[in-house]
Chains A and B, each alone.
Chain A
C-alpha cells in the first residue's frame, strides 16, 4: 500500500503525466466534437462513432506505462526506488497498480468528455442514441483498454530499459504488427494486441467478443510484465 502510494505520487508529481493526459483528452474532445457533430457518415456504425478519438489517449497510456519504469533508469532514480524497497516484486506490483489506476482514471475522464460531447451531438444529429447497454459496454471496454495498455507499456519498459527503445518497441506491437494478421491463416490474427483492443472495444468487425478480447490483451500485458519483472530481478541496476 505504501509502495502504491509512492508510485502514484511519482506519476502525479511530474508534468509529463498531466501534459500527456491533457493533450489526449483535448484531442478526444476535438474529435468527438468535429467528427460526430459535423460529419455525417451513414456507413459508420454508431459504436465506432462513440469511440472516436480514443487512439491518441491509448498511445498516451501506453507511453506512460513505459515511462513509469524507463524513467527510473534514464534518470537513475531506480537506485533510490530499490533502496527504499529492495525487493523487486513488490515494487513492480506497485508500479502495475499505479498504471492500472491511472488508466482507469484516464478512462473515466474519457467517458466524461465523450459522454458529455459526443453523445449529445450524436443524438442531435441522428435523433436518437445507441442502446444504453451498447454504450455502457463500449465505455467499459475503453476504460479496461486504457488500464491494460499502461500495464503493457510497463512490461515492455521493464524488458527494454532504454526509454526511446522501449517506446519504439511498444509502438511496434501496434503499428508494425497490426497488418500482419491479415496475412495469417484462420483467426490467429484476432489474438494480436491491436486486434484484441478492437474486440475489447466491441468493434463488430473484430473476431473475438469483448471479454475474450480483454483477456487476450491482459494475457499479453501479463506475459510481458512477467518477463520484465524477472529481468529486473536478475539484472544489475547500473544505468
Chain B
C-alpha cells in the first residue's frame, strides 16, 4: 500500500477545474518531487491529501484512509504549506507551542525543532518581523514537530539562503533514508534534481509523468549526439527518416526520434563514417519544459 495515494481526484472551484482526474501514489523511503507549472494544481492536490480541500470527485488517501479520519494527525503527517500562514502577532515559539498543545506533544520537542531549524535565537520575536527564510524554517519546524511518518512540503526552498537549501536537502534525504515518505513540490528544478528520486509531473490538473528521475530524464524524447565524417548528408538522410536534427555547438548533430542502432545503420548505407554516437541525457529542466508543453526560451 502506498503511503499517499491520489485516486481519480478532481477538484473544481466554481467553473475552474484545478485538478482533473489525477491519480498517482507516493511510496515511503524516497523523496518524491511534485512538479508542474504555476497553476497546475500542485497546491490543491497537496491540500486534498491534507484534508483541507474536499475532493469534487475521487479521493486522496493517507495510509489508505481519508485524511480527515486520521487519529494522530501531527504524528502521521507533517506539512509546510504557504510560509505566510502564521498569526503575525504571535512569536515563533508560541506558534509551535499552540501546535504542540493541540497534539499533546511535550514542550521540550518545541525547543528541539527550534534548535533543528536554527531559530532558537529568534523564537521569542513576533513572526511579523521574520524574513521569508525564517518563516520557511518555522514552517518546517512545525512540520517536523510530531516526528511524522509522512512529510508534505509545498515549495519549502522558497526564500532559503544557500546554506538553508543545503540543510533542507540533507534533511529531506535523511528523512527518506530512515524510511519516511517525503512529497515536495518545487519550481526550482535543479534543487529537485539533487534531492528527488521519484517524480510526479502534472499540467493543468492532469498527470503528465510519474517516473523515477532517471527514467524521466532519459525518456523516449532524449536525443543522440552524432559526430560523423559528413554531417550534411547524414542530416538529410536522418530527416528523411523522420528524425529531428539539430546542431550542437561544435557542429555535431543532435538527433531525436531515432535510436543508436537506426542512426548507425543509416550512416552505413550512406557511407558516412561515425566518429561518435552518444545518448544525451536531457536535463530535468529540458524534459520538464518538454512534457509540460512550454517552449524552452532561447
In A1-24, which residues have CB < 8 Å from any B CB?
2-3, 5-6, 9-10, 13-16
With known contacts A82-B51, A84-B73, A84-B99, A16–B67 Cβ distance under 8 A: no
Give the docked Cα–Cα distance between A13 and B90 (Å).
6
Using A13-B91, A15-B89, A86-B70 as known contacts, say yes or no to A5 and B52 having CB atoms under 8 A apart.
no
Asked if residues B53 and A76 are in contact (CB atoms below 8 Å), the reply is no
Q: Contacts A2-B102, A236-B53, A236-B54: A9 and B142 contacting too (C-beta < 8 A)?
A: no
Comparing B23-31, B74-82, B241-249, the segment that makes contact with chain A is: B74-82
Min Cβ gap B61→A in Å is: 13
Q: Kindly state whether residue A85 has any CB partner on chain B within 8 Å.
A: yes
Contacting residue for A14 out of B84, B89, B142, CB 8 A: B89
Residue of A nearest to B94 (CB): A13
With contacts A9-B98, A86-B67 taken as known, whether A77 is within 8 angstroms of B86 at the C-beta atoms is yes
Interface size on B, residues (CB 8 A): 34
Out of A6, A234, A237, A238, which one reaches B99, CB within 8 Å? A6
CA–CA, A16 and B99, complex, Å: 20
Asked whether any CB of chain A lies closer than 8 Å to the CB of B88, the reply is yes
Partner of A236, one of B52, B68, B69, B142: B52
Asked if B53 contacts A238 (CB within 8 A), the reply is yes
Q: Are A9 and B94 in contact (CB-based, < 8 A)?
A: yes
- At the interface, yes or no: B296 with Cβ under 8 Å from chain A? no
B97, chain A: closest CB distance, angstroms: 6
Q: Does A85 lie within 8 Å of B88, measured CB to CB?
A: no
CA–CA, A86 to B50, complex, Å? 8
CB distance from B167 to the nearest CB of A (A): 22
Is A132 part of the contact surface with B, judged by Cβ < 8 Å?
no
Query: Counting CB contacts under 8 A, is B47 at the interface?
Result: yes
Q: What's the Cα separation between A3 and B47 when bound, in Å?
A: 22
Tell me if A2 and B94 are in contact (CB < 8 A): no
Residue of B nearest to A238 (CB): B53
Give CA–CA (A236, B73) in the complex, Å: 18
Q: Is the CB of A83 within 8 A of B101?
A: no
Residues of A within 8 A of B53 (CB): 236-238
Q: Is the interface of A mostly helix, strand, loop or mixed?
A: helix
A47 to B142 alpha-carbon distance, docked (Å): 51
Identify B68's interface contact among A3, A16, A86, CB under 8 A: A86
Q: Cβ of B94 and Cβ of A5 under 8 Å apart?
A: no
Contact A6 B94 (CB under 8 A): no
- Contact pattern, B 38-62, Cβ under 8 Å of A = 1, otherwise 0: 0000000001001111100000000
Cβ contact within 8 Å between A84 and B68:
no
Give the shortest distance, in Å, between A238 (CB) and chain B (any CB). Answer: 7
> Does A71 lie at the interface of the complex (its beta carbon under 8 Å from any beta carbon of B)?
yes
A2 contacts B103, C-beta separation under 8 Å: yes
Least Cβ–Cβ distance between B141 and chain A, in angstroms: 12
- Given A83-B74, A84-B74, A84-B99, are A2 and B104 also a contact pair (CB < 8 Å)? yes
CB <8 Å contact, B85 and A77: yes
Minimum CB–CB distance for B54 against chain A, Å: 6
Which residues on the B side are within 8 Å of A87 (C-beta)? 68
* Bound form: Cα–Cα A10–B97 in Å: 9
Q: Give the residues in chain B near A76, CB-CB below 8 Å.
A: 81-82, 84-86
6 interchain pairs, CB-CB under 8 A: A79-B79, A82-B52, A83-B50, A83-B52, A83-B77, A84-B73
4 tightest A-B CB contacts, nearest first? A76-B85, A6-B102, A13-B94, A6-B101
